[in-house]
Chains A and B, each alone.
Chain A
Amino acid sequence: MSENRYELNKQLAQMLKGGVIMDVTTPEQAKIAEEAGACAVMALERIPADIRAAGGVSRMSDPKMIRGIQDAVSIPVMAKCRIGHFVEAQILEAIEIDYIDESEVLSPADDVYHINKHDFKVPFVCGARDLGEALRRIAEGASMIRTKGEPGTGDIVQAVRHMRMMNSEIRRIQNMRKDELFEAAKQLAVPVSLVEYVHENGKLPVVNFAAGGVATPADAALMMQLGAEGVFVGSGIFKSGNPAKRAAAIVQAVTNYTDAKLIAELSAGLGEAMVGINEQEISLLMAERGK
């Protein structure tokens, strides 16, 4: 992949900033999401909450279903492939997906290696729990990062933990002496050039979204106030009582994430939120996949 293509792919993520990317499983849901103000949709066969409930191996979605969603909306369409499954990624590139999510939500295909994302022309977004994971994914060619959170739970605690962890590590790197960066790179197991970028700029070299467990406008605004540049909402929308209304409210909350009065209005009468499960109640921690 040429330098130029990587720049263009990072720049598409810049266009998504301040927006909400929603999980959808059908063209109808994709239209609801677009009309509610999603800046992109993530096409997948089952939302994380259902993957969790069904168990078994979860894989890339049927390309026919993804095409149906591409035809239904004008906003960017993303889709997930399994960690390390570069052939699923090749298939998604062949159908001209706008962004590939190499995702821990699906069953990993490789328990050692991630995809060499430099081999692709289409952009990749990857999940991360801390700065080391984020920079390793960027070194592999990811042009956008999101927190892992804990998908399909409706529990925001892990996304908060991951975002706080990443930002505190960024601040730590920022405050280092230059001659300490080599050791930091060694400890994080990442190239020193990326550590130098963080040291100089106080942020990741790519856009950073929040994901995993966002269920309410308040959750979305919390992640924005903690430093996310936008939000992925998975199960939280279409597992709730009134998806269209909840989706629109989350979109507005992300735009005006510091306006408590507005968020209070947006949070009123949204109907039932997804039931959710606490992290202590689940046996499968998806965030532990792919470090």
Chain B
Amino acid sequence: MTSPQALSLRNLTKTYGGGVVALRGVDLDVATGEFFALLGPNGAGKSTIIGIVSTLVRKSGGAVSVFGHDLDREPWRAKREIGLVPQEFNFNGFESVRQIVLNQAGYYGLPRRQAAVRAERYLRELGLWSKRNAVSRTLSGGMKRRLMIARALVHEPRLLILDEPTAGVDIELRRSMWEFLRKINAEGTTIILTTHYLEEAESLCRHIAIIDEGRIIENTDVRSLLRQLSTQSFILDVSSAPAELTELSDYHPQVLDDGSLEVVLDRSQNLTDLFAALGAQGVRVDSMKNKANRLEELFVRMLDRAGAEA
């Protein structure tokens, strides 16, 4: 017997009042245990999908099921499987950190004793235990984000949905949140996130769907997606500029300054041959990096292609 998908969307449509079409028949499956990214430009429909799954947005048509439970027919069973971390802060600014988490546990039916144990565990894990009695509106932006994650996890949902979880969060905190999300995913929680940081999606997620203008235009695993990149651009930090650029013409070299060189490799070329060609001219490569995030490069190309086809 196959386990049901964590999330299954079938022909999901949404037209807002005023005739704005946000979703044009979205089909999407997220496997149990997946770490899934939903990417797309602003207004593509990501937040509408999350809104419909969390029932804050009413769909115009289609079906949603969570771990096999239809959201319309079995809302009680479906909703208790979901934990939501929304984009905007949406907790009571006048309540304490601990009270907010305890209330959330109550809405999901957790008895008080069990809720207290869970609240302590997640507030500790997210570094908020020392702030448990603080009024929530006095927290910093990063703490508020972590509070929303603790709140979403207190009923230990099997599906955690995060809408731009690291927006406006500093790098150090972002990295620690990534580690935390990796950990709970490894423990079995299916995670869906939307993000504008493509580095985040590439680093965390195994599966990516790209949505544009209310349609899914790509839905595959990260490795397959990156394989679609026909060329990659690199910036090399070199000991000196190569004397004979014509020898490197296959790599489309551009000398940026004395110490750096930009090259473009297609899928038939490899870095070992490039380094050998540079070595032959006495040029040492000290370090290198992708010119742009690979996913970002692909993302922009796909959106351009989708725009041209439309």
Are chains A and B native binding partners rather than an unrelated pairing?
no
Chain B residues within 8 Å of A, Cβ to Cβ = none
Residues of chain A touching chain B, judged by Cβ–Cβ distance below 8 Å, are none
